[in-house]
Structure 1
Amino acid sequence: MSRGWAPSRPPSPSRQERARRWLAARVAASGTRQSGSGGVDLPPELLGEAVRRHLPVHTPEEAARQMTVLADGLTGLGPLAEPARGPGVTDVLVDAEGAVWTDGAEGLRRTGQRLAPSEARQLAVRLLAQDGRRLDEGQPYGDAQVAGARVHAVLPPITTGGPQISVRLPAPEPPALDRLAGRWPHGERWLSVLRHVLAVRANLLISGATGSGKTTLLGALLAEVPADERIITVEDTRELRPAHGHVVSLQARPGNAEGSGAVSLADLVRQALRMRPDRLVVGECRGAEVADFLAAMNTGHRGAAGTVHANSARDVPARLQAMGALAGLGPEATALQAASAVDAVLHVERTAAGRRPVELAVLDRPEGAEARTLRVVPAITATAEGLCFGPGLDALEALTGSTRSGGRHALDR
């Protein structure tokens, strides 16, 4: 007589999965702490013991490889870690079909690797949870910082197909400003101008599209700030890691499942002003925090900096007024604040020749009936023929700021 339906026995976990579970239990028991880069420092002795107990290896090289795979799968980028280690890779992407792509010096490339929808979802949830972020049906998108990389993930049905993951990798080491300038056309001239902007403590906005190098350039500029100045950075997800001895990093936080506990960029800008900043930096201005940022620059906080998404320097006023509207500021109030707060706008682009600055301008407020608007006055514009100098350069040369080097830097034309 038949006993009827009976559940099938679940498959036995693989050796790799047993090693991962053993390691996860020991890490939890040991109270291993998160590192400053957003990852977790796994003790090598625990990794070695997990390999010895559960994974057959025959050479030291094979053991080291298995330890790396275990660390990647538990606290790193998992199956995306290997393509992320490719030379020149800046981004790793998982599309709706699970295909893994890389972007970098050679452009967008398909790796041939593919993740199953369940594997991509588990990876996305684990990466965001590692940074204390939630990812589920109620919150189907989010950002996190993992092992120094910025991770963005989106789950269905917000995205069609399977989960989408975008990983922006940090530079192996923050590039120095002079090294960056060495890759630009007319790099020496740009370097001289940017060092002048720093020295006179001009308030600077760096504009550009996604992936144009705004954050990289901002980090290189901050590395040249004098060592006895205190830099406070405010970011949605931490990306800025300038090579400077005194940096305080503040990171926004979303609310929990009940919607409480959120800390916005605007909240952090207000807190930063109470922390004695010599330089206040907002990693990316994208919303109502722009009102507090502009107010800070108008109340004696010189040498501030930030980035903003825009198609050109001429489009920055429209972006500022749109963000000002989110904070309840009218066009005229935003124009008044921005014209007196922002000294210079540097626009960067990603071209076939690489990421580079293409325009430097100053913001001005015209007289008369147009006083409620912002005007962009070009200072330096890169063209196919070379650099063109505009009337805005005189305004930059007139800035003297508060410098330890004794004042104005002449800008060669």
Structure 2
Amino acid sequence: MNLALLDKVRRQLAAQSRPGDPNRRTRGSAKADIVKALRDTGTAPPDRDSLLQLSSALSDDLIGAGPIQALLDDPAVTDVVVNGAGGAWVDRGEGLRPAEVRISAETTRALACRLAAAAGRRLDTGSPYADVRLPDGTRFHAVLPPIAASGPYLSFRTHRSKAFTLAQLVEADTLSADLADLLLRIVKARIAFVVTGGTGTGKTTLLASLLSAAPATERIVIVEDAAELAPDHPHTLTLESRPANIEGAGEVDLAALVRQALRMRPDRIVVGECRGAEVIELLGALNTGHEGGAGTLHCNAAADAPARLEALALPHGLPRAGLHAQLVAALRVIIHLRRTGSGRQVAEIAVIETGPTRAGNLTVAQAWTRHGPGPAAGVLERLLRERNA
């Protein structure tokens, strides 16, 4: 991109904008403003196609993600990362692959600082990392040198505004038809569940699809660090956490938001990703009449979910016996995803069981896999029958 032209258009946009407008522009409205700025400065190409092409490129550089915006616009892309001198990589569902994009360290740093500033966050040597949500919902994280040894390092997680249906997930081989029917019964039965898996396994995608299947009469309150869940449901509300400001004040964490959600007459409370003290609040909510709640959790296998929940809850004062009692009383179903050579797939559905007494050690028993029923299929079926599902 011609830097002189970019600077000229930027100054013209600033001159014709009201205070605060540049940070609120969408890419669509920006293109119209850029066309006007090009014409006002006498730099507009004579033919329409060239003008539109130039305005689109300028829009990417002014408010989009610059050289990698085209990757983010690809509907098959879930993640884009820039590894400083290591170049850009893109994930289209088959793991990260090198992208045919060349971006210098200087351009990468300027892009990171601009995107962070547009979201109201500081990113510089004194504050060398930032985690923000871009206007289109894309999750953006950046780390600058010297923290990033050969950086800057950028990470983008794309946001899709519409959830997949369960039928589409079956078509994509994320689910088998039998598993899709079983998951639909779990949702309709209002059994609380957690979706587990590693990074990039499709936990948020599956959770959004399952919430889309909830009855339209229900009110779903979603609590997230960054708004990513977008279920196709007519009555969903999202509460988004807020980090502390530069002075260290004003933080609103997920645990506080779960408490607020309880006061909003929810039929279901959903935590986008369980990471800490909010686990205690969520389990408490599920044990006080708020059935059908859900969340996602990072772990390597369904059997690891109780240990992972212990690691999150115990440092915040909930004893192990209390956690186990709450789990078996409210959160009985685990849906685990894995990445395979053919894409993201639901590997198993498991149920949480307890020992001879409610204080006994928890076990996670496999109820279903992609290949059919497992040893605990009867336990899950009994839970569904108890709820007439």
Task: Give the TM-score of the pair, scaled to structure 1.
Answer: 0.87
Tell me by how many angstroms 1:372 deviates.
5.0
Whether 2:127 is the aligned partner of 1:139: answer: yes
The 10-residue stretch of structure 1 (198-207 or 245-254) with the greater mean CA deviation from structure 2: 245-254
Contact 2:140 2:157 in 1 (8 A): yes
Partner of 1:311: 300
The 10-residue stretch of structure 1 (87-96 or 104-113) with the greater mean CA deviation from structure 2: 104-113
- 1:63-107 C-alpha deviation (Å, 9 max, x unpaired): 112222222222222222022234522211100316112111454
Residues in 2 aligned to 1:317 and 1:67: alpha-carbon distance in whole angstroms: 52
Whether 2:275 is the aligned partner of 1:281: answer: no
Whether 2:2 is the aligned partner of 1:15: answer: no
The 10-residue stretch of structure 1 (240-249 or 82-91) with the greater mean CA deviation from structure 2: 82-91
Contact 1:33 1:41 in 2 (8 A): no
Partner of 1:72: 60
Whether 2:234 is the aligned partner of 1:245: answer: yes
Look up the equivalent residue of 2:384 and give its one-letter code. Answer: L
- 1:131-157 C-alpha deviation (Å, 9 max, x unpaired): 223323343222211122111111222
Residues in 1 aligned to 2:179 and 2:229: alpha-carbon distance in whole angstroms: 22
Could you tell me which runs of 5 or more consecutive residues in structure 2 were left unpaired when the two chains were aligned. none
3-state DSSP class of the match of 1:266?
helix
Contact 1:280 1:304 in 2 (8 A): yes
The 10-residue stretch of structure 1 (155-164 or 357-366) with the greater mean CA deviation from structure 2: 155-164
The 10-residue stretch of structure 1 (203-212 or 135-144) with the greater mean CA deviation from structure 2: 135-144
**TM alignment of 1:224-239, pairs within 5 A:** 224-239=213-228
Whether 2:348 is the aligned partner of 1:359: answer: yes
3-state DSSP class of the match of 2:85?
coil
Partner of 2:188: 199
Task: Give the TM-score of the pair, scaled to structure 2.
Answer: 0.92
Partner of 1:389: 374
The 10-residue stretch of structure 1 (245-254 or 136-145) with the greater mean CA deviation from structure 2: 136-145
Residues in 2 aligned to 1:172 and 1:269: alpha-carbon distance in whole angstroms: 23
Residues in 2 aligned to 1:189 and 1:256: alpha-carbon distance in whole angstroms: 48
Residues in 2 aligned to 1:42 and 1:204: alpha-carbon distance in whole angstroms: 41
Residues in 2 aligned to 1:119 and 1:107: alpha-carbon distance in whole angstroms: 25
Partner of 2:35: 48
Q: Which one of 201, 209, 213 corresponds to residue 220 of structure 1?
A: 209
Q: 1:107 to 1:186 in 2, by over 3 A?
A: closer
The structure with the largest helix share of the pair is: 2
Q: 1:179 to 1:252 in 2, by over 3 A?
A: same
Q: Which one of 80, 85, 89 corresponds to residue 97 of structure 1?
A: 85
Could you tell me which runs of 5 or more consecutive residues in structure 1 were left unpaired when the two chains were aligned. 1-11, 402-406
The 10-residue stretch of structure 1 (321-330 or 18-27) with the greater mean CA deviation from structure 2: 18-27
Contact 2:349 2:367 in 1 (8 A): yes
**TM alignment of 1:289-368, pairs within 5 A:** 289-367=278-356
Contact 2:188 2:215 in 1 (8 A): no
Tell me by how many angstroms 1:362 deviates.
1.1
Contact 1:102 1:109 in 2 (8 A): yes
Residues in 1 aligned to 2:15 and 2:256: alpha-carbon distance in whole angstroms: 37
Q: 1:16 to 1:138 in 2, by over 3 A?
A: closer
Contact 1:98 1:116 in 2 (8 A): no
Tell me by how many angstroms 1:279 deviates.
1.2
Partner of 1:398: 383
Residues in 1 aligned to 2:204 and 2:187: alpha-carbon distance in whole angstroms: 16
Contact 2:277 2:312 in 1 (8 A): yes
RMSD value, Cα: 2.3
Partner of 1:7: none
3-state DSSP class of the match of 1:357?
strand
Q: 1:248 to 1:14 in 2, by over 3 A?
A: same
Identity of aligned residues (%): 39
Residues in 1 aligned to 2:236 and 2:165: alpha-carbon distance in whole angstroms: 17
3-state DSSP class of the match of 2:127?
coil
Partner of 1:164: 153
Residues in 2 aligned to 1:331 and 1:185: alpha-carbon distance in whole angstroms: 34
The 10-residue stretch of structure 1 (54-63 or 262-271) with the greater mean CA deviation from structure 2: 54-63
3-state DSSP class of the match of 1:134?
coil
Residues in 1 aligned to 2:353 and 2:104: alpha-carbon distance in whole angstroms: 53
The 10-residue stretch of structure 1 (276-285 or 326-335) with the greater mean CA deviation from structure 2: 326-335
The 10-residue stretch of structure 1 (291-300 or 321-330) with the greater mean CA deviation from structure 2: 321-330
- 1:238-257 C-alpha deviation (Å, 9 max, x unpaired): 11111111111111111011
Residues in 2 aligned to 1:139 and 1:336: alpha-carbon distance in whole angstroms: 42
Q: 1:347 to 1:144 in 2, by over 3 A?
A: same
